[in-house]
Amino acid sequence: MSQTAPTRPLMFTLLGLPWTRTSQTIPFVISRMAFGLIAAWVLLPHETPALRLIWGLVYGLVVIGVQVIHTIGHILSSRRVTPPMREVRSLLVGFATLYPRDLVPLPPSTHLTRSLGGPIINLVVGLVSLLIWGLIGGHLLSFFGWFNIALGLIALLPIPGIDGSVIWRELGNYLSDD
């Protein structure tokens, strides 16, 4: 199946897919940086304000990086089924994974496979990071590991608009088809 060019401005190409921006891209980055600043202020109370500011910006970049990792999980899992993903679009809440419009109903296993990729990679990366953190320490590695775990677990919740709603719906459909 041929891939059509994205209609949105291209940010970059990663793993063969266009990552495009929207009017929500800048607010997305600003909100993640603000989250990082708040996290640093709370988690690093003994640092000077200047260091908390610097670490807060680094934490903000980590938050964006963890969301990129989540999306990479979806890309990798979508390659195990058809049709594959066609574009990643940045939105205020994160990155939307876009697929060709389904002309025929897809089996529950396709939606389930696509949806599980993000949470699984976050949980695996988070656990490995925390194991390494247990050996070498460091607040940045701890933040990275725990944020991966948190995002992976939150993504599994059955809340409309996130992976968990698709996972739990399709798991039910998959089990009822057997």
CA nearest neighbour of 77 among 170, 172, 175, 176: 170
pLDDT value at residue 158: 96
Question: What is the percent of the chain with per-residue pLDDT over 90, rounded to a whole number?
Answer: 81
What is the 3 state secondary structure string of 40-63? HHHHCCCCCHHHHHHHHHHHHHHH
Which tokens go with 110?
């396709």
Is the bond preceding residue 83 a cis peptide, omega within 30 degrees?
yes
Distance CA 95, CA 74 (A): 10
pLDDT value at residue 6: 56
pLDDT value at residue 5: 54
pLDDT band of 171, cuts 50, 70, 90:
confident
* Main-chain phi, psi angles of 95, to 5 degrees: -110, 125
Q: What's the chain's average pLDDT?
A: 93
pTM tops 0.95, yes or no: no
Distance CA 159, CA 112 (A): 15
Domain edges within the chain: 10-177
Judged by average pLDDT, the poorest of 4-13, 48-57, 162-171 is 4-13
pLDDT value at residue 172: 84
